[in-house]
Structure 1
């Protein structure tokens, strides 16, 4: 039998064995294998680290950045063992509270009428909670001592 025929026959037999092997694997194991293949592909197509330099200045709105592992920091699922703060998975340990060295006093109860707006007992509470970010943005400049008052349409919320 010629060498090429032997190779083709061996390759066909190997493929057949792979199919039988794959059928016998549990679904969970197959999912793990698929995930590893996906990660392997992601790593092979990953940008070089140098290409991340100043990437924000070349933003492409059509690109799917969520597929890039280096840009996706994930959800806040880790809890600090000292202060119970929510942290990102790869966030440095102790960053939030210096490993228990910084302790903050509990938040005080907000003054009236804020308390009733937050707890839902005020008739305007639902409107306030729906637009809380807009209200916060109206006052964000006051925290560093700005003294220019400029009324903008975004700070006038209609009910």
Structure 2
């Protein structure tokens, strides 16, 4: 019997890079020091975790356990989507604005996710 589940024999782990000394962002090799916070010039407020999301992580009720047991499934559904929109090039080009990358879309945005769970 052939299984459709891929198994990996060897893991690849990226080398640890030093976090940004200003905002502590995790970095990949060759990322510039200005990419995350422009060397401390830009400060973002920390967003609190929404109560419903926190409940899914810490609660022991059935839907929270279901969420934790199937998190890879849910995450995979959100990653395979298509986005169509009109992109505002004036705010997305860091070379001309001198700031951080900003994604600004105009008009409607379409996002398609197949149904979760069983198709009963």
- Select the structure of larger CA radius of gyration: 1
**Higher RCO (Cα < 8 Å, 6 or more apart):** 2
TM-score, scaled relative to structure 1: 0.39
TM-score, scaled relative to structure 2: 0.49
